[in-house]
Amino acid sequence: MDLKELSLTVEKGNAKKVKELVVQAIEEKIDPATILNEGMISAMAEVGTKFKNNEIYVPEMLIAARAMSAGLQVLEPILAETGVKPIGKAIIGTVKGDLHDIGKNLCAMMVEGAGIEVYDLGIDVPAEEFVKKAEELGADIVVISALLTTTMPYIQEVIDSFNKSSVRDKYYIMIGGAPVTEEFAEKVGADLYTPDAATAGEKAKEYLVSVKV
């Protein structure tokens, strides 16, 4: 089969068809890493580019990301068996006091779509939980989301917790959310501010590739 068909199906967000095509690719003995990279990760990169160019919007991104997740459900056990590993690990969560999750969920999907294992802490996450899980899972990247001006200060609390635990240098901290800015990221000591989910996935991958070369 032509993996371009799988890639286009992911872009269109047809989860059922994506599953079928992944199964077909496996049956045809196509290398699982090739299925992942050429059939799905490439699709999400294209989705991210289209989003940044205003050719598609959040609903289309969510649908495509869910289609990829459906394909990954089929592919991940095969990848594990063949020893194909993600390029890195990330944890993501919305800070304490903030119950918004749509942006955070989309960001998690796009980071996963970049070939990174993602552990979602959920919403209303205390600062110490970010540190605990990052250490427990051996994460490379910590992604912190805040969607309200009133909860933005908790991003500082999370970063302060990493500093107090003397583990700050182990992690690449990315932050985002509607009220967050580049200036705020510099002020709180984050490594990177990303304006949208597509950029988050792209920059997370760039970072991991750069440190693991």
- Evaluate if residue 189 carries a pLDDT over 70: yes
- Evaluate if residue 213 carries a pLDDT over 70: no
Do residue 77 and residue 113 come from a single domain? no
β-strand pairing of 89-95 with 117-125: parallel
Do residue 73 and residue 110 come from a single domain? no
pLDDT tens for 43-54 read 999 999 999 899
Do residue 58 and residue 157 come from a single domain? no
Where does 26-140 show beta strands of DSSP type E? 89-95, 117-125
The alpha-carbon radius of gyration of the chain (Å, integer) is 17
- Evaluate if residue 168 carries a pLDDT over 90: yes
H/E element holding 182? Answer: helix 182-188
Do residue 195 and residue 109 come from a single domain? yes
Do residue 24 and residue 118 come from a single domain? no
Total domains, the chain: 2
Do residue 76 and residue 122 come from a single domain? no
Do residue 104 and residue 54 come from a single domain? no
Q: Which domain holds residue 29?
A: 3-81
Do residue 74 and residue 94 come from a single domain? no
How much is the average pLDDT of 153-171?
A: 97
Q: What is the pTM of this model?
A: 0.86
**Most trustworthy range by pLDDT among 64-68, 69-73, 140-144:** 140-144
Mean pLDDT of the chain: 94
Q: Which two tokens stand for residue 167?
A: 């583990």
Do residue 7 and residue 63 come from a single domain? yes
Do residue 42 and residue 141 come from a single domain? no
Q: How far is 133 from 120, CA to CA, in rounded Å?
A: 10
Do residue 29 and residue 116 come from a single domain? no
- Evaluate if residue 199 carries a pLDDT over 70: yes
- Domain-terminating residue out of 21, 50, 81: 81
Do residue 76 and residue 97 come from a single domain? no
- Domain-terminating residue out of 81, 112, 143: 81
Which among 122, 102, 99 has a CA at the least distance from the CA of 110?
102
CB-neighbour burial class of residue 53 (10 A; exposed 0-12, middle 13-18, buried 19+): exposed
CATH number of the structural domain spanning residue 23 = 1.10.1240.10
Name the one residue in this structure whose structure tokens are 């967000």: 13
pLDDT tens for 107-134 read 999 999 999 999 999 999 999 999 999 9
Contact 103, 147 (CB under 8 A): yes
pLDDT tens for 75-113 read 999 988 888 889 999 999 999 999 999 889 999 999 999
Q: How far is 15 from 85, CA to CA, in rounded Å?
A: 23
CATH number of the structural domain spanning residue 94 = 3.40.50.280
- Evaluate if residue 25 carries a pLDDT over 90: yes
Q: How far is 154 from 160, CA to CA, in rounded Å?
A: 10
Mapped onto helix, strand or coil, the DSSP state of residue 117 is: strand
- Domain-terminating residue out of 28, 54, 81: 81
